[in-house]
Amino acid sequence: MQAFEATNHYFDQAAARMDLTGNMRTMMVTPDRELRVEVAIEMDSGQIGNFIGYRVQHDNARGPFKGGLRYHPHVDVDEARSLASLMTWKTAVVDLPYGGAKGGMNCDPSKLSRSELERLTRKFVQQIHDFIGPDKDIPAPDVGTDAQVMAWIMNEYAKYHGFHPACVTGKPVEYHGSAGREAATGYGVSIITRETLKILGRLVAGTTFAIQGYGNVGSYTARFLAAQGGKILAVSDAFGAVSNPDGLDIAALDAHVAAARKVVGFQGGDAGSNEQLLTMPVDVLIPAALGGVFDAAMAKEVQAKLIVEAANGPTWPEADEVFSSKGIVVVPDILANAGGVIVSYFEWVQNLQHFRWPLEQIQREQETRMVDSFTKVYEMSQRKGVSMRTAAFMLAIGRVGRARALGGI
Ligand code: NAD
pTM assigned to the model: 0.97
- Distance from Cα 218 to the centre of ligand 1, integer Å: 7
What mean pLDDT comes out for the span 335-345?
A: 98
The answer to whether the CB of 168 falls within 8 A of the CB of 157 is yes
Mean pLDDT of 66-73: 97
Do 249 and 121 belong together in one domain?
A: no
Answer yes or no: is 395 within a domain: no
Count of domains observed in the chain: 2
210 plus 324 within the same structural domain: yes
- Let me know if residue 386 belongs to a domain: no
| 241 within a domain of the structure (yes/no) | yes
Say if residue 206 is in the same domain as residue 321: yes
- Tell me the per-residue pLDDT of 87-103, one tens digit each, with 9 for 90 and over: 999 999 999 999 999 99
Q: Which residues pair with 55 in a beta bridge?
A: 35, 103
Residue 271, domain CATH: 3.40.50.720
| Ligand 1 mean position, distance from CA 216 (Å) | 7
CB atoms within 10 A of CB 136: 14
Distance, CA of 159 to CA of 347 (rounded, Å): 21
Residue finishing a domain among 110, 144, 175: 175
Query: Annotated catalytic sites, by residue?
Result: 102
User: What pLDDT is stored for residue 98 in this prediction?
Assistant: 98
155 and 203 in a common domain: no
Q: What is the pLDDT of residue 1?
A: 86
Q: For a ligand 1 pocket test, name from 86, 216, 298, 309 the mutation site with the most ligand atoms within 8 angstroms of its C-beta.
A: 216
Ligand 1 site-directed mutation target among 185, 266, 273, most atoms within 8 Å of CB: 185
Q: Which of 287, 274, 280 is nearest to 320 (CA)?
A: 287
Q: Where are the alpha helices (DSSP H) in 246-358?
A: 250-260, 274-279, 296-301, 317-325, 333-336, 339-353
- Over residues 280-291, the pLDDT tens digits come to 999 999 999 999
Question: Average pLDDT, stretch 325-329?
Answer: 97
* Residue 251, CA distances (Å) to 185, 192, 230, 256 in order: 19, 22, 14, 9
Q: Are 151 and 168 in contact (CB under 8 A)?
A: no
Sorting pLDDT into bands at 50, 70 and 90, what band is 34? Answer: very high
Are 341 and 31 contacting, i.e. CB atoms less than 8 angstroms apart?
no
Over 90: is that where the pLDDT of 19 sits? no
Asked whether residue 50 falls in the same domain as residue 155, the answer is yes
pLDDT the model gives residue 81? 98
Q: With DSSP H G I counted as helix, E B as strand and the rest as coil, what are the percentages for the chain, rounded to 5?
A: 50, 20, 30
Rounded average pLDDT over 150-169: 98
pLDDT, tens digit, for every residue of 168-180?
Answer: 999 999 999 999 9
Domain boundary among 110, 145, 175: 175
- Residue nearest atom 16 in ligand 1 by C-alpha distance: 238
> Rounded to the nearest 5 degrees, what angle is found at the Cα of 287, between the Cα atoms of 227 and 11?
125
pLDDT, tens only, 35-61: 999 999 999 999 999 999 999 999 999
DSSP 244: -
Distance, CA 382 to ligand 1 centroid (Å)? Answer: 31
Range(s) of the domain holding residue 210: 184-336
User: In CATH, what number is assigned to the domain containing residue 143?
Assistant: 3.40.50.10860
Instruction: Report the first-to-last Cα separation within the chain, whole angstroms.
Output: 31
CB 68 within 8 A of CB 149: no
Same domain, 252 and 167: no
The mean pLDDT value for 251-272 works out to 97
Q: How many helices (H) and strands (E) does the chain have?
A: 15, 12
> What percentage of the chain has pLDDT greater than the value 70?
100
Q: Are residues 124 and 255 in the same domain?
A: no
Alpha carbons 196 and 161: distance in angstroms, whole number: 44
Inter-CA distances, 337 with 162, 217, 393, Å: 32, 9, 14
Q: Catalogue the E-assigned strands of 85-172.
A: 100-106, 137-141
